[in-house]
Amino acid sequence: MVYIAPSLLAADFSRLAEEVGRIERADMLHVDVMDGHFVPNLSIGPAVVEALRKKTKLPFDVHLMMEEPLAYIGVFRQAGADIITFHIECQDQPQAVIAAIKASGARAGVAISPKTPAEAIGPWGEDLSQITVMTVEPGFGGQSMMLDMLPKVYKLRARFPQALVEVDGGVNLETAPLCKAAGANILVAGTSVFRAQDPYLEMRCLAM
Ligand code: DX5
Ligand code: ZN
């Protein structure tokens, strides 16, 4: 059983509500938040999350690619985030960020960029609901998956059995089976789902 999380980054931003309607049967909506510092790009902020919250019942999996996520936990939770993921490479202390996410009532996740080893997640990883293995350099959609990241997936599954392991970047019909074989529980898929003629069929095939 694998969950599919379409990434909003690949949607047509001129008609977001309709785009979310096309993937209503997904398991969750992945929302990429970029601050222009942690990654060289800007994307979606809390106002968009709040507006979309009124349009769908899908759980929101909010991926904070931010230098200082701690200051924004409350505002994203308020806007409707169900799961909040921050990067281990950020400036804030992981324990403090996890505590703030949990205190807000959201589920906590951590993401690790390609250059960061799985071992960088300390014993505090036991407090997480989700661990995201980045299979592209964060910042942009539509990149090719770095397959050499997949061993991190099975290492983390074995070390933190309470957490779901998510793969983010370059998931498509070719790479999804490899992610599943490595033990991934959640597949983030932007380009492959939103640019598919039939997103529902694409999601079914990715999950198979
Ligand atoms: C990259 C983002 C990903 C990305 C995935 O910084 O975290 O979620 O949008 O997009 P695709 O599926 O197109 O690689
Ligand atoms: Zn993401």
Q: What is the pLDDT of residues 34-90, one digit of tens each?
A: 999 999 999 999 999 999 999 999 999 999 999 999 999 999 999 999 999 999 999
Distance CA(27)–CA(146), nearest Å, equals 24
User: Mean per-residue pLDDT for 176-190?
Assistant: 98
Query: pLDDT confidence of 91, banded at 50, 70, 90?
Result: very high
Residue 99, pLDDT score? 98
Query: pLDDT confidence of 9, banded at 50, 70, 90?
Result: very high
- pLDDT tens digits for 139-173? 999 999 999 999 999 999 999 999 999 999 999 99
Closest CA to 117 of 151, 141, 165, 162: 151
Identify the bridge partners of residue 167 per DSSP, sorted by sequence position.
133, 187
Annotated catalytic residue, options 35, 148, 168, 198: 168
The CB of 165 under 6 Å from ligand 1? The reply is no
Asked if residue 86 belongs to a known ligand binding site, the reply is no
Residue 32, pLDDT score? 98
Residue 148, pLDDT score? 98
DSSP category for residue 88:
T
The reply to whether the predicted model has a pTM over 0.95 is yes
Residues 6+ apart with CB under 8 A from 70: 92, 96, 97, 100
Residues 6+ apart with CB under 8 A from 204: none
User: Mean per-residue pLDDT for 96-107?
Assistant: 98
Active site residue 168: yes
Distance CA(88)–CA(111), nearest Å, equals 6
Residue 123, pLDDT score? 96
Residue 44, pLDDT score? 96
Say how many Å lie between the CA of residue 155 and the centre of ligand 1.
22
Annotated catalytic residue, options 27, 32, 35, 61: 32
Q: Whose CA is nearest to atom 1 of ligand 1?
A: 138
Which helix (H) or strand (E) covers residue 168, if one does?
A: strand 164-168
Contacts 24+ apart (CB under 8 A), 97-104: 97/69, 97/70, 97/73, 98/124, 98/127, 98/128, 100/70, 100/73, 100/74, 101/73, 101/77, 102/127, 104/73, 104/74, 104/77
Residue 191, pLDDT score? 98
User: Mean per-residue pLDDT for 119-126?
Assistant: 97
At 196, phi and psi to the nearest 5?
A: -75, 150
The answer regarding whether domain 1-205 maps to CATH 3.20.20.70 reads yes
Active site residue 198: no
Say how many Å lie between the CA of residue 162 and the centre of ligand 1.
25
Q: Which amino acid is at 149?
A: M
Whole-number average pLDDT of the chain? 98
Residues 6+ apart with CB under 8 A from 60: 28, 29, 31, 49, 52, 53, 80, 81, 82, 83
